[in-house]
Structure 1
């Protein structure tokens, strides 16, 4: 079986887990940006952050940046983690192989080609640096968002048939090296994949916002 066929087979296998695991392919309409627009210093990324800030009524650009990256990593790491969990071929989610947009449904992504990917750090690091370049949000916070998205995906996969032990083993593998190492810890909890991160995504700073289930801060 070719690499294209193996990636496509994996994407078909996992897409039913939830909408966040469905990763579509192909060139979309003109409302989408090339993935490289995240990195080129142009207006696409700042414009998306401005729209998030307006939508959530926050004057803190770092909060908007955090929310953007939470959505981005949830959309990308869900299929990547699920592919690894079902022993499939994880897709290439580097910016060069993506289309993206921010709209009423939040951050959305599409693949250009069904090819095999690289590790999480290499896939996300350019985007972390691009976001950090346009707003003073801590890199550790952004990597904590990635860790939260990966752990959340493991929890969904665990409820979809993969054993908790296998999910935790994959989590330990994914978080074994920087920059995810030290971003949080898995907590023993019967029948679930429970995770607590070591940084906060700043959601509590929104009007009416609270703390997330994996937040290290006291509940608000």
Structure 2
């Protein structure tokens, strides 16, 4: 089944590793909340694109679940508010997601971006922002879902892998695909070298997908 976003057939949005930079979309800034668990390179890519006026968006809040996550330092450099919601303090996944939803609503978030969010989400979060949660995954979905997508691609000895930006549904790494980038696997690649090359493309397609979402919102609010 084909899925469209702003008139684009999302199932055919397979893009090459060299994609054009997103353009600034006039209109109201997209208010996003970012969820991250680790180093925060994807968070920084978003924040830098906003600062460089490649994206007409504003990061309302960064939510992180790991007290030692390096993403906090990156957020502080860009003046973004950070909130720790340590998953270890919640008995159930639903309890954590309820706290996340409450925090996002309090910060007037329109869209949610998972930028290395290493937690399985529940309907509590997905239903609060239906078709408005973006995830980034290091494979060409539907191939190699799960947390070891890079290793799975190497083990399968495929010649090409890549990364995918998609809308989040309850099933892990499912949901309509917004954008993909292909990355060739080289003969002597390790998980580290392959992931490093995939990450370069992740930053590009994440910014591209957010730009598409911004265009969609502004066309809805301010039709020509």
Question: Could you say whether these structures have the same fold, taking a TM-score greater than 0.5 normalized by the shorter chain as the test?
Answer: no
Larger relative contact order (C-alpha < 8 A, sep ≥ 6)? Answer: 2
Report the structure, 1 or 2, having the larger strand content.
2
When normalised by structure 2's length, the TM-score is: 0.29
Report the structure, 1 or 2, having the larger helix content.
1
